[in-house]
């Protein structure tokens, strides 16, 4: 399956390399052309002049960009070149509304679309162990399976278009609530004078535990927050959750509380730290009381 | 080590039985005498007339009661009979302040005290697999180790008196924040039309996951909340967290938000359901918007 790739950021570059290893990567395009040129030189794939030229040459086209407007911009740019039967696989994290809009624009030209946001971070992208949550037509999903399998491990078809993004948004709400829990509990433990490494040891296997407690409470114990899952990226994703909830007329407390605190952290220059840096604010609560 | 037990509730009864299996249970006392009589008949241990009489006959005395006032009441009742060198092991969940007060009252008579709250629920108590978080003098902790080992598996000495309770309170804050995360994320997923069992499958192994997501999100998917960790018991524990934080001049957002929502759930008759019943309130947010 001749596959193209658009969006060679930290995630996309590794994902494209894994497509190359699987013998699927035909060509690439990137807004900053130098990156595409480097990967073309490295892998021997073609560097396309523009998204439409790339779309004309491939059977599948993976997109991995940053924001909702970027996805729609790429879709509009590739559409003039796309042949009917092309499958566009969007691995960006955007709203379900954007996914449905992209699918509708491509459907008019007989082009299939799958929303396939990923989780697992830069490490998962590099190792090909991403979790991929997919929305779209089941037959289109089956056609794209070799492409997805080259980039990830746990690949789940969640339902029609938009359901991949809705699942990713669900995951980002989980992350927000759990980091609230871990940061608040660890700040309390510190204020009580407990040895934080002992607290982690005692509670890691219990009912209060979580991936974030096991893997990020140690960051809080050390007071060092290397990225990780950057505050500004999670904040962007929580903005998507906000918009999706707002479409139901709902404001989600965990989401809104966390966004407000992220704004505070970004203003203080912590936007590129791992989200466990939220501990700074919870710890400061006790600092004010001391 | 001749051991006595006071407080034969759902947890205490199973813990006392495990002490009996380990050959340690000498005698019991319970406010409702019939329960003590039954266990005495079952195990052949003595039923003491009062806490002081029991304290006079044993080397270790385990307490497992409900509230801070109960612990101090039992301590005052047993003290007149206690011989110097007795070790009192309090497995109740109360505040660190109460633990320090109990320790001080007993120290005057040369009696040792350990605060040893447990986690793992009724099932952990029955199977002898409780996690036990201990505070107190290290030598006293070592003396009591056979008693603790008969009741639990992960036994951690956290520091001086009160540190066991502080660790348990930390765990209860974690549970509050995580159940907020899981309930809000699952309500969002439901509103988006996702199949909740697929969401659980897709996200259980990811970075947003937690013990509560894996074990209690299925309760939310089914809309059935069998206890479990009852709302009214977690609410009691969060009251302890509130008091401990207030002693630092701090109000903890996760704790206070959860207490307010628990009050609402208890008023609606859901106090004896598992805390995953919080999903009802988060789901209702979307219901109001529909």
Residue spans in chain B of domains classed CATH 1.10.1040.10: 166-289
Q: How does strand B152-159 pair with strand B130-135?
A: parallel
Within 8 A of A233 by CB-CB distance, chain B residues are: none
Alpha helices in chain B (DSSP H): 10-21, 33-43, 51-57, 68-78, 96-107, 121-127, 138-151, 163-191, 196-203, 211-222, 231-246, 253-267, 279-289
How far does B103 lie from chain A, in Å, by closest CA? Answer: 18
Into which CATH architecture does domain A166-289 fall?
Orthogonal Bundle (1.10)
How high is the pLDDT of residue B88? Answer: 98
CB B119 within 8 A of CB B131: yes
Measured at the CA of A121, the angle between CA A118 and CA A123, to 5 degrees, comes to 125
CB B19 within 8 A of CB B5: yes
Distance CA A50, CA A53 (A): 5
**Which tens digit of pLDDT belongs to each residue from B160-211?**
999 999 999 999 999 999 999 999 999 999 999 999 999 999 999 899 999 9
- Measured on CA atoms in the order A249, A253, A257, A259, is the torsion positive or negative? negative
Is the Cβ pair A172, B213 closer than 8 Å? no
Q: How many percent of chain A have pLDDT more than 90?
A: 95
Residue spans in chain A of domains classed CATH 3.40.50.720: 3-160
End-to-end CA distance of chain B: 63
Q: b/e string for A115-128 if b means 16 or more Cβ within 10 A?
A: bbbbbbbeebbbeb
Within 8 A of B252 by CB-CB distance, chain A residues are: 184, 188, 285
Distance CA B121, CA B134 (A): 17
Is the Cβ pair B201, A156 closer than 8 Å? yes
How high is the pLDDT of residue A193? Answer: 97
Nearest CA-CA partner of A85 in A51, A68, A109: A109
CB B207 within 8 A of CB A216: no
- Six-digit token pair at B252? 């903890």
Note whether B205 contacts A: Cβ–Cβ < 8 A.
yes
**Which B residues in the span 106-145 are in contact with A, Cβ-Cβ below 8 Å?**
119-121, 131, 133
* CA nearest to A129 within chain B: B206
How high is the pLDDT of residue B288? Answer: 63
Within 8 A of A199 by CB-CB distance, chain B residues are: 158, 167, 170
How high is the pLDDT of residue A44? Answer: 97
- Six-digit token pair at B144? 């009591």
Nearest CA-CA partner of B19 in B162, B144, B156: B144
Is the Cβ pair B173, A181 closer than 8 Å? yes
Those residues whose C-beta lies under 8 Å from the C-beta of residue A97, and which sit 6 or more positions away, are A162, A243, A244, A247
Nearest CA-CA partner of B63 in B131, B5, B133: B5
**Helices and strands, counts by H and E, chain A:** 13, 9
The dotted CATH code for B3-160 is 3.40.50.720
Distance CA A170, CA A135 (A): 14
Q: Which of A168, A190, A198, A236 is catalytic?
A: A168
Span A173-185, mean pLDDT?
98
Average model confidence (pLDDT) for chain A? Answer: 96
Classify residue A249 as exposed, middle or buried by CB count within 10 Å of its CB (0-12, 13-18, 19+).
exposed
Span A176-201, mean pLDDT?
98
Which helix H or strand E contains B3, and what residues bound it?
Answer: strand B3-6
- Which of B177, B202, B252 comes nearest A158 by C-beta? B202
Radius of gyration of chain A (CA): 21
Q: How many percent of chain B have pLDDT more than 70?
A: 99
Span A73-100, mean pLDDT?
97
- List per-residue pLDDT tens for chain B, 290 residues long: 999 999 999 899 999 999 999 999 999 999 999 999 999 999 999 999 999 999 999 999 999 999 999 999 999 999 999 999 999 999 999 999 999 999 999 999 999 999 999 998 888 999 999 999 999 999 999 999 999 999 999 999 999 999 999 999 999 999 999 999 999 999 999 999 999 999 999 999 899 999 999 999 999 999 999 988 999 999 999 999 999 999 999 999 999 999 999 999 999 999 999 999 999 999 999 986 55
How high is the pLDDT of residue A288? Answer: 63
Residues of B with a catalytic annotation lie at 168
How far does A36 lie from chain B, in Å, by closest CA? Answer: 31
Radius of gyration of chain B (CA): 21
If DSSP codes are grouped into helix, strand and coil, which group holds residue B248?
A: coil
Q: How does residue A57 score in pLDDT terms, banded at 50, 70 and 90?
A: very high
Asked whether the ipTM of the predicted complex exceeds the cut of 0.90, the reply is: yes
Per-residue pLDDT for A75 more than 80? yes
Note whether A185 contacts B: Cβ–Cβ < 8 A.
yes
- Which of A174, A194, A210 comes nearest B159 by C-beta? A194
How high is the pLDDT of residue A121? Answer: 86
Note whether A8 contacts B: Cβ–Cβ < 8 A.
no
Span A56-79, mean pLDDT?
97
Those residues whose C-beta lies under 8 Å from the C-beta of residue B187, and which sit 6 or more positions away, are B279, B282, B283, B285, B286
Is the Cβ pair B169, A180 closer than 8 Å? no
């Amino acid at each position: 399956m001749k596959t193209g790739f658009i969006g060679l950021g930290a995630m996309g570059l590794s994902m494209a390399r894994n497509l190359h290893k699987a013998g699927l990567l035909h060509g690439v395009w990137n807004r900053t052309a130098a990156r595409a040129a480097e990967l073309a030189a490295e892998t021997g794939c073609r560097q396309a002049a523009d998204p439409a030229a790339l779309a004309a040459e491939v059977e599948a086209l993976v997109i991995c960009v940053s924001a909702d407007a970027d996805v729609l911009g790429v879709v509009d740019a590739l559409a003039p070149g796309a042949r009917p039967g092309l499958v566009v696989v969007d691995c960006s994290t955007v709203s379900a509304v954007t996914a449905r809009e992209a699918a509708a624009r491509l459907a008019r030209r007989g082009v299939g679309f799958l929303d396939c946001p990923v989780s697992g971070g830069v490490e998962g992208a590099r190792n090909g162990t991403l979790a991929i949550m997919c929305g779209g037509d089941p037959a289109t999903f089956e056609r794209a399976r070799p492409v997805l399998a080259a980039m990830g491990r746990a690949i789940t078809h969640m339902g029609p278009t938009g359901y991949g993004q809705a699942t990713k948004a669900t995951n980002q709400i989980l992350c927000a609530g759990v980091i609230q829990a871990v940061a608040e509990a660890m700040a309390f433990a510190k204020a009580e004078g407990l040895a934080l490494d002992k607290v982690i040891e005692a509670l890691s296997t219990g009912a209060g535990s979580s991936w974030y407690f096991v893997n990020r409470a140690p960051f809080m114990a050390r007071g060092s927050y290397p990225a990780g899952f950057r505050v500004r990226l999670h904040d962007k994703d929580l903005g998507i959750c906000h918009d999706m909830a707002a479409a139901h007329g709902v404001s989600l407390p965990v989401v809104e509380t966390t966004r407000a605190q992220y704004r505070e952290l970004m203003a203080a220059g912590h936007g590129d730290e791992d989200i466990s840096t939220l501990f700074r604010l919870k710890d400061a609560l006790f600092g004010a009381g001391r």
